[in-house]
Amino acid sequence: MLPSLASDYFEFFGLAPKLHLDLDQLQKRFYELSKVLHPDRYQRKIPAEQQYSQDATALLNDAYRVLRDPLQRAEYLLKKAGFEIGEQRSKDVPPELLEEVFDLNMALEEMRDGDASARPQLEQARDKFHAMRDEIDARLKHLFVMYDAAPERETLGEIRSALNRRRYIRNLVNDVEKELQ
Amino acid sequence: MSTFQIDFGESKKQIIGIDLGTTNSLVAYQGLTGPEIIPGEDGHRLVPSVVSVTRGGKIVVGNEARDLLITEPERTVYSVKRLMGRGLEDVRDELTLFPFHIAHGSESVIQLKLGEKTFTPPQISAEILRQLKRNAEAFLGEEVTQAVVTVPAYFNDAQRQATKDAGRIAGLEILRLVNEPTAASLAYGLDKRKEGIVAVYDLGGGTFDISILRIHDGIFEVLATNGDTHLGGDDIDNLLLRIALEDIQSEWGEDLSANGEAVQTLRRAVIDAKEKLSFIPSSVIDLAYNGKTYAREITRDLFDKLIAEIVNRTLLPCRECIKDAGVTVDQIVEVVMVGGSTRIPLVRKAVEGLFLSKPHTELNPDEVVALGAAIQAGILSGDVEDQLLLDVTPLSLGIETMGGVVSKLIHRNSTIPASATETFTTSVEGQRNVLINVLQGERELVKDCRPLARFELRDLDPLPAGMTRIEVRFLIDANGILNVTARDARTGKEQSVDVKPSYGLTDEQVEAMIRESYEKAEEDFNERQVREMRVEADAILAAVEKAKRSDAFFELEEEERKAIDLTINELLMVYHSGDHHLIHSYVDKLNQVTLKLAENMMNTAVRGVLKGTKI
């Protein structure tokens, strides 16, 4: 293990824990760190250094993967702040979508049974969910700016709700698109 | 005690680069002016990946074996790469097309019969590696013990592991497995001005890969990769062969398909006709056998129609790869063509149609992968400092959860090394072991993914259900191979993990094969072990000597420095003892006493890059 390398992703990159990151800067740092840490550079070094290099690079790659994606980055920050997130919560239907989802499932059922007449309804649903997702994305963007300006726990709570809703809608969109193909 | 002064920097050995192909293999090295292909003693640069056991029991490889394919088809094998890391049920379809002679007892590991002997696919590949090693040693005039070997980017864990096993059996330490298209991009990117998004389309004898990379400031970052490990020129050969066999049956009233010699002669004719069609509009498949003759003209139009389906099968992976890379077609500045099958005009046309730009064909598609492997060897030896490959894992890795569902831990196209940690717990009071089923693939259900290995956590403390928590770390290393470590989250104690690979050889089996290969050889098995251990000792001694000149060494306590010097001397004392266990124990000891030094070195390196970058 790496006793003296930071295990926090932001810290590892030498960045402040913010929800908005300059991606060009992040990539530049990723390349710089890769050049220093990558196992290819340690082939002729002490075995313990080789081991450290592998562990450190795995950590670097894992961190970069999470930090470069705004949603994963937000989830990571939430997890660090002690919020529980995960697929489980996204299975609960948001109450305001209950009726919608019920109708949608009927339509999906019909499509699966080979009844193509449900197609227009599904296409309509897909467009609607796309619009909802865009709306949530706009809201998330706003919340991210808010949090970066004043890191309040309350804002993180709102971000979590928005992320769960988004994940739920994303799963619906995936289901619909799979049937429409 | 006096200190030995040896400059280990001088004994730096050459690391060779190997393209272990389905049809042909090549070996290259990083010369003073750049990578170069090493020809065989017969002067040929390509070594056909064909192995034959002569009636005298001698193993021959390459062109000589390729000729024996016709006269001794029962004792000769080609395209063995298709069987690497595969189970019998995976290759059942292939067996009708390829003259593989499967021996009995192939349930867990495929055994091929060549005359009186049986070989596993890694043993056959090891013979090819041995030949390439010999070629390199004759050419370079020195012993070669280390190599970089390329594999298809879309190779799974078992296929990679089988390739590494082949290296061990051949007495060649494979320092790194590099993906073929990535290696090609290194050779292609030799020109330092190359920047931007590049696609590498690699259609070889048996495998197809597509990779999309970002090249920036000497960094070759793979964004995504896709492919099919059972799609290549072989499939075209088999298609034409089937047609010719049907023709012959109706013309001669004779079924030749069970006649090994006739089939292999016809296969050579088919390949010949296919290769000519890349340059002329029409060619002839002809066969003269047992006083009868067969000749069939194939025009390029007909050929194109016949192979359209095979060529089209490469396009879906390309589209998925573009999508996964998160780029659009117009962002891709160049498409590089790799593999002999990209000489086919229809392939070039299809690629041009998809990527909307003329593909690059100026590099020799047979050699570019081996050249790239040599550059990667140069990177590992420190000779090439301004280039670095950042590759990805082609397939998602997951574990089996309730209801036969796969929970993904590391997603495909993650930059490697990549890791994931998962906590496992017991479900029954007093439970002493936990079984973890690891799978590779993109589907949701266990039955649709490929089993990779079963890991068993054993000898857990008997505690009430749910009390034991074991943290398991899954790490895909820079070779794309999975490593698993576990520790008890409560006690922090390392937990042993028992690995049962779903396909391929266990460590014990590989050991046995190494021994077997020495039974008849002139060299003593023990001698080889001593020699290999000395190579390891040389490596660590050289590394420690170098580290001793750094600031990190002087940051150590005096005791720590003394311990290092003492252990170096101890290792040097036993170095010539001829007892590999003894040498091993001091290599281990030197390893232990330099832990802190290694950590200091690493911290200095990281501090350097992070200094003054805090935002």
Q: Which CATH class name applies to B233-309? A: alpha beta
Q: What is the pLDDT of residues B137-156, one digit of tens each?
A: 999 999 999 999 999 999 99
- A54:B415 CB<8 A: no
User: pLDDT higher for B188 or B306?
Assistant: B306
Domain B181-231+314-382 identical in fold to domain B397-506: no
Question: Does B10 score more than 50 pLDDT?
Answer: no
Q: Do A45 and B419 touch (CB under 8 A)?
A: no
Backbone angles phi, psi at B408, to 5 degrees: -75, 135
Q: Exposure string (b/e) for B439-452, b if CB count within 10 Å is 16 or more?
A: bbbeeeebeebbbb
Q: Output the pLDDT for position A57.
A: 94
Q: Which numeric CATH code is attached to B397-506?
A: 2.60.34.10
- Does B569 touch chain A if contact means CB atoms closer than 8 Å? no
Evaluate if residue A2 carries a pLDDT over 70: no
B614 touches chain A (CB under 8 A): yes
Please report which confidence band the pLDDT of residue A6 belongs to, taking 50, 70 and 90 as the band edges: low
Question: Are the beta carbons of B418 and A62 separated by less than 8 Å?
Answer: yes
Establish, for the pair of chains A and B, how many residue pairs have beta carbons separated by less than 8 Å.
119
User: Would you tell me the crossing angle of helices A70-80 and A47-67 to the nearest 10 degrees?
Assistant: 110
Q: Does B465 touch chain A (CB under 8 A)?
A: no
* CA nearest to B314, candidates B332, B341, B333: B341
Homologous superfamily of B181-231+314-382: ATPase, nucleotide binding domain (3.30.420.40)
User: Is residue B19 flagged as an active site residue?
Assistant: yes
Of A45, A52, A61, the CB nearest to B543: A45
Yes or no, beta carbons of A45 and B601 under 8 Å apart: yes
* B602 to A5: CB separation less than 8 angstroms, yes or no: yes
- Flag if A43 and B380 touch (Cβ within 8 Å): yes
Q: Is the pLDDT of residue B489 over 60?
A: yes
Chain segment B252-299, per-residue pLDDT in tens:
998 988 888 899 899 999 999 999 999 999 999 999 988 899 999 999
Across B361-365, B580-584, B607-611, least confident range: B607-611
CATH of domain A9-68: 1.10.287.110
Per-residue pLDDT, averaged over A135-164, amounts to 92
Nearest residue in chain A measured CA to CA from B614: A14
As a whole number, mean pLDDT of residues B476-486 equals: 92
Residue-level pLDDT at B5: 45
Task: Identify all chain B residues contacting A41, using CB atoms and an 8 Å cutoff.
Answer: 388
Q: Quick one: what percent of chain B has pLDDT higher than 90?
A: 59
pLDDT of residue B401: 86
CB contact residues (below 8 A), chain B span 532-561, against chain A: 539-540, 542-544, 546-547
Question: Please, are residues B178 and B164 in contact by the beta-carbon 8 Å criterion?
Answer: no
Please name every residue paired with B453 in a beta bridge, in sequence order, or none if there are none. Answer: B438, B501
Is B202 annotated in the active site? yes
Cβ contact, residue pair A61, B416, below 8 Å: yes
At B209 the pLDDT is 95
Whole-number Cα distances in Å, B329 to B195, B319, B390, B556: 16, 9, 22, 54
Dig out the tokens for A98 from the structure.
């209950």
Q: Where are the domains of chain A?
A: 9-68, 87-180
pLDDT of residue B207 exceeding 70, the answer is yes
**Residues B510-525, mean pLDDT to the nearest whole number:** 72
pLDDT band at residue B2 under the 50/70/90 scheme: very low
Do A54 and B540 lie within an 8 Å CB cutoff? no
Query: What integer pLDDT is reported at residue A40 of this predicted model?
Result: 95
Q: Residues of A with CB below 8 A from B176's CB?
A: 40, 43
Is B408 a catalytic site residue? no
Q: Where are the domains of chain B?
A: 11-177, 181-231+314-382, 233-309, 397-506, 522-610
Asked if the model's pLDDT at residue B592 lies above 50, the reply is: yes
Average pLDDT over residues A44-67: 92
- Higher-pLDDT residue of B46 and B109 is B46
pLDDT for position A92: 62
Q: Determine the pLDDT at residue A91.
A: 57
Active site residue B165: no
Residue-level pLDDT at B189: 78
**Domain B11-177, classified CATH 3.30.420.40, yes or no:** yes
The CATH fold assigned to B522-610 is Substrate Binding Domain Of Dnak; Chain:A; Domain 2 (1.20.1270)
For residues B571 and B586, what is the distance between their CA atoms, to the nearest angstrom? 5
Cα separation, A82 vs A139, in Å, equals 22
Nearest by CB: A61 against B415, B539, B595 = B415
Binned at pLDDT 50, 70 and 90, residue B170 comes out as: very high
Band of the pLDDT at B521, cuts 50, 70, 90? low
Return the minimum-mean-pLDDT range out of A83-92, B97-106, B279-288, B338-347: A83-92
Helix axes A70-80, A153-180, angle to 10 degrees: 140
Per-residue pLDDT for A4 more than 60? no
Instruction: Exactly one of B165, B180, B334, B367 is catalytic; name it.
Output: B180
Strands B50-53 and B482-488 come out as unpaired
B382 with A47: Cβ contact below 8 A:
no
Q: Which residues of A touch B (CB under 8 A)?
A: 3-5, 14-16, 25, 29, 31-41, 43-49, 51-59, 61-62, 64-65
Partners of residue A54 in chain B, C-beta under 8 Å: 417, 475, 477-478
pLDDT band at B404 (very low <50, low <70, confident <90, very high): confident
